[in-house]
Structure 1
Amino acid sequence: MISWWNECVSDKVNCIQNLDMDALVKEALKNKEGILSADGALVVQTGSFTGRAADDKYVVRDNYSDSRIHWEGVKAMKPDAFEKLKTEFIRDFNREPRSLYMMERSVGADENYSLGVRLMTTHATHALFARHMFRDSIKNPEMGFFTIFHNPNIVLDPKTFGLRSPTVIAINFERGEILIGGTAYAGEVKKAIFSVMNVLLPDRGVLPMHAGSNIDENNKVTVFFGLSGTGKTTLSTDEGKYLIGDDEHGISPAGIFNIEGGCYAKTYNLTEKGEPQVYHAVNSYGAILENVVLDENKRPKFDDKSITENGRGSYPLTFISDASETGLGPFPSNIFFLSADAMGVLPAIAKLDSEQAMYYFLSGYTAKLAGTEVGLAGIKAAFSHCFGAPFMMRHPQHYAELLKKYLESHKVNVWLVNTGWYAGPYGEGTRYDLSITRSIIRGIQKGLPDNTRFSREAVFGLSIPESIPGVESKFLNARALWSDGRKYDVMAQNLKQLFSDNYKKISPETSTIEYQI
């Protein structure tokens, strides 16, 4: 049988395929790609790229992508430029006798929406990452295959290939191919495939989501939308709940399904007490710790951000004791929009009506934290439609219309959660302790008492519960937490204006997109 990579490499290249976890760890150590921590995690450094190279991502503009991609903010690449780049990748793969690692995986726990993923990489670490993050391979995946050509060390001349820099992430939908070069940050591999799924799934009536999810013993599903650093992984990986997934999901007429097969958790300030399941998972043999500092005893210093605040841990879902075996669940009972509000004015929790749900979904507000993208310094307020704009490459209204149709056809509560600051903006106020947010979430998951009263917040018109069992009521009134209510009013009005200005850009008129669900 002719292997899919035969047309790409010569007989001099040692093609190593589908190794198990243990063998890949040994290959990475043999190649000096990393070292083992005291607990057996593979610790690697990714060099100058400790986050996504957002400005170096391209999509080939062809007959398939032209009408599907919302090209505002997306860099277009011509098909012949992609082919020229691919030729250079293959030339580099064959430039000397070497080993290449081939992984055959898939994404989409619901096989009706599955995509085969093939990875050709120069690094055993990234083959291990793909093994963790993607699912077992499927013989005939419903949506075909995508092949990733991955070479962190390839040296590309920007002028020769028409690139912004020597780094490239290029997606070709008609060819079903992705090129990733010049960056060792593993997150590019998973986010490239997520970007692909976010374009493919809506044609099938499926809403792709940048969200975590869990399911309880009563078969009730909770979804957590949010950008990096807002708490998706932390809140979805909760004791007493079964983790469906921590980052990427789809909702179809049959319910929710995990797109991935693993987790890629942020590790900065990770503690055993605060996040016991994630802590033990990233400290297990076979896990990958990316850009994490070790102490003299080779134990991770998760409070050390001297390399980056965007340290990561990659591991398969099987490392979580209470993970769902199927990655499937019914339609959600509760949906939470997580926002780390740097201005400190959004309430800790608010219930959204259907119109507000669309507004905050399309807004995708948070505080963008340093380290998640190259070149970002400090913290700033940011809007990212659908809580994942860099990966949601159709028009925002496509995703909003799908969410709206599902919300109209199912009984679901939608909530806005502030996992950021209170009693003042960043630098003056205090960030909500994880225990407070967990108590709020758990209280809502259990179901608020029927006699719970809600009050209308003055600036944003949000509906705030006046009490939640197990939560100090003072944390439910954002304005009262400020020592100076007038300063709160000014800051809140400023944020409201930012919301309004942003919304005008992404929702100029009512969409007429139709989807069958």
Structure 2
Amino acid sequence: MQENIMGRKRNMEPELYEQAIKYEKGSFITATGALATLSGAKTGRCPRDKRVVKDELTENELWWGKGSPNIEMDEHSFMVNRERAVDYLNSLDKVFVNDQFLNWDPENRIKVRIVSARAYHSLFMHNMCIRPTLEEIENFGTPDFTIYNAGQFPCNRYTHYMTSSTSIDLNLARKEMVILGTQYAGEMKKGLFSVMHYLMPKRQILSLHSGCNMGKEGDVALFFGLSGTGKTTLSTDHNRYLIGDDEHCWSDSGVSNIEGGCYAKCIDLSKEKEPDIWNAIKFGTVLENVVFGEHDREVDFTDKSVTENTRAAYPIEYIPNVKLPCVGPHPKNVILLACDAFGVLPPVSKLSLSQTMYHFISGYTALVAGTEEGIKEPQATFSACFGAAFIMLHPTKYAAMLAEKMKKHGATGWLVNTGWSGGSLLKAKYKKTEIFGLEIPTEVEGVPSEILDPENTWSDKSAYKETLLKLAALFKNNFETFTNYKIGEDNNLTDEILAAGPILPNA
């Protein structure tokens, strides 16, 4: 079956846009030369339909059960879906195949093959993965992982484990991924990220859902944060070199970007607010689910009629301050970003190693009232390792590796609530807050000292204390998922990490 598909292999390059137009109904070239297309009914990821084969290999290795993103399926059900996908791909006049790499570190890169029915999916992955040279394509050999993307064709809902017509299936033993029933391109990107979260720790390499940049003096910073906390904005600071905006590895030789492109949200995009992304939307870029004028082909980035999750996928070299190759030395600052809508966390806190592990595992931010229908007051959101949907192992495994690397290479941890970062903060004087025990600076040049302690911004001190205790309780309730989970002696949470969390009175 695979051999049949490989016999009709075609490489997709940006200059072959004509092929994308010819084989894609509803795809158009915009006024700036980008390819605009639609993903169909699914305009975002389907985490409830993503499954992993549970077998002798994965049963004791992966994180299963409460709080885990890994939903199990068996080998037989995977093979039913695989056969369905390959049969569909073999029924087409043309399929598109990419042979590419993940990870800019040449010693630890992964060879991936993506077989897809849609030309835009091929072009999307051409942008998002690392593009091989002609010589590397000729000598590519057997891939380390293969994706069969038959997303236009549904799975059989009566197949065991299926709950809808959509299924995204990972088989780590076979080194394969099958996509049925969704044409959203992000499933391929994030599916491979999940694979890297499994493969890299086996090599003692930490996989990270983070942005990363480097200063002119070679100082590297990692930025962790959920959507809306400023991860992309901080990593693309014009005064620093961009290493990557989303997925990275931290090995014994330093940090490296996993991808060869950027996948930027572009709802309400403007040239004034985000000029780099605006200028990157040109020939070679794939625009997903945007709306544009029928005659002038100008994109209306404010139009949410298809989805708010409009996206642009472009090669990373479209960003002017990118560092190529996308590698750097060991990070000096590890910055955890939290949008605390409760208003009780400090603007910036310096973290101990155990506090960094605690807050990394917690992955906290808060939804502001009014941002989603039905939200009347701030709601806490926790996502382990700031990317729970993509991790494969228990969060404590990644946290332990992060702490080990930070300790070995002298990195400082920060919890940031406003988008500040290190620098002169390392030399400031600090005091500890109550409940959370965070170290906050008492003074920072150019910043009014009274705003450094959040209690000073509350006129009602009793309301501040009540809200602080409420948030602390939410942290502790969330962390119970991890205190009760064990994978061998090495991954047990230590008393030191537990003590790094908030301490409630009479607890």
Q: TM-score, with normalisation over the residues of structure 1?
A: 0.86
- Once superposed, what is the RMSD of the aligned Cα atoms? 2.7
1:268 and 1:348 map into 2 onto residues whose CA distance is 27
Q: Percent identity?
A: 37
**Range with greater deviation from structure 2 (163-172 or 28-37):** 28-37
Task: Give me the whole-angstrom Cα distance separating, in 2, the residues matched to 1:377 and 1:300.
Answer: 31
What is the CA distance between 1:473 and its match in structure 2? 4.6
Q: Is the 8 A contact 2:12 2:119 kept in 1?
A: no
How far residue 7 of structure 1 moved from its aligned partner, in angstroms, is 3.8
Distance change in 2, residues 1:303/1:59 (3 Å)? same
Tell me what 1:247 maps to: 246
Distance 1:17 1:245, change over 3 A: same
**Residue in 1 that maps onto 2:72:** 76
State the SS of the aligned residue for 2:210.
strand
**Could you give the per-residue CA deviations for residues 322-376 of structure 1, whole angstroms, max 9, x where no partner exists?**
1111111111011111122233332222111111101101101123699x9xx99
Q: CA deviation at 1:184?
A: 1.5
Do structure 1's residue 456 and structure 2's residue 432 form an aligned pair? Answer: yes
Give the distance between the partners of 2:426 and 2:86, measured in 1 at CA.
Answer: 62
Q: Tell me which of 83, 98, 106 is aligned to 2:101.
A: 106
Which has the higher mean CA deviation after the structures are superposed, 124-133 or 458-467?
458-467
**What is residue 153 of structure 2 aligned with on the other side?**
154
Q: Distance in 1 between matches of 2:43 and 2:395?
A: 28
Question: Secondary structure of 1:256's partner?
Answer: strand
Instruction: Confirm or deny: 8 A CA contact 1:243 1:323 kept in the other structure.
Output: yes
Q: Give the CA deviation at 1:255.
A: 0.8
SS of 2:159's equivalent?
helix
Please list the CA deviations of residues 284-319 of structure 1 after superposition, one character each: whole Å capped at 9, or x if unmatched: 222122222335743333334343332221111110
Distance between the aligned counterparts of 1:475 and 1:27, measured in 2?
A: 57
**Matched position secondary structure for 2:267:** coil
1:266-277 counterparts in 2 under 5 A?
266-277=265-276
Inter-CA distance 17–188: structure 2 relative to 1 (3 Å threshold): same
SS for the counterpart of 1:85 is helix
Match of 2:18 in 1: 26
1:6 and 2:3 matched: yes
TM-score, length-scaled by structure 2: 0.87
The 3 A distance-change label for structure 1 pair 458 and 32 is same
Call closer, same or farther: CA 1:202–1:49 in 2, change over 3 Å: same
Q: Partners of 1:368 and 1:391 in 2: how far apart? A: 21
Supply the distance in 2 between the matched residues of 1:358 and 1:55 (Cα, whole angstroms).
27
8 Å contact kept, 2:4–2:90: no
Unaligned regions of 5+ residues in structure 2, if any?
Answer: 492-507
Q: Which residue of 1 aligns with 2:478?
A: 502
How far has the Cα of 1:33 moved from its partner? 4.2
Change (3 A) 1:136 1:449: closer
| Cα deviation, residue 407, structure 1 | 1.6
Instruction: Tell me by how many angstroms 1:144 deviates.
Output: 5.4
Greater mean alpha carbon deviation, residues 98-107 or residues 502-511: 502-511
- Does 2:249 match 1:257? no
2:163 maps to which residue? Answer: 164
Deviation sequence 1:448-502 (CA, Å, 0-9, x none): 373x232322332211223444545554333333453333322221111010111
Equivalent residues, number: 478
Given residue 56 of structure 1, which amino acid in structure 2 is its aligned partner?
D
Confirm or deny that 1:390 pairs with 2:383: no
Give the residue type in structure 1 aligned to 2:411: V
| Structure-2 change in CA distance of 1:461 and 1:257 (3 Å) | same
The CA distance in 2 between the partners of 1:211 and 1:220, in whole Å, is 16
Match of 2:500 in 1: none
Deviation at 1:251, TM superposition (A): 0.6
Match of 1:39 in 2: 32
Map of 2:424 onto structure 1 = 447
Who is 1:422 aligned against?
Answer: none
Q: Is the 8 A contact 2:219 2:332 kept in 1?
A: yes
Amino acid at match of 1:512: E
Q: SS state of the match for residue 381, structure 1?
A: strand
The superposition leaves residues 142-198 of structure 1 with CA deviations (integer Å, 9 ceiling, x where unpaired) of: 995111000221022211354111101100111111001211211110110000010
Q: Secondary structure of 1:409's partner?
A: helix
Answering whether residue 131 of structure 2 is matched by residue 136 of structure 1, we say yes
2:287 corresponds to:
289
Distance 1:342 1:293, change over 3 A: farther
Query: Does 2:320 correspond to 1:321?
Result: yes
The residue aligned with 2:503 is none
Deviates more, 1:43-52 or 1:312-321: 43-52
- 1:262 CA drift (Å): 0.7
**Structure 2: distance between partners of 1:470 and 1:27:** 56
Residue 105 to residue 509, structure 1, CA distance change in 2 (3 Å): closer
Counterpart AA for 1:61? K
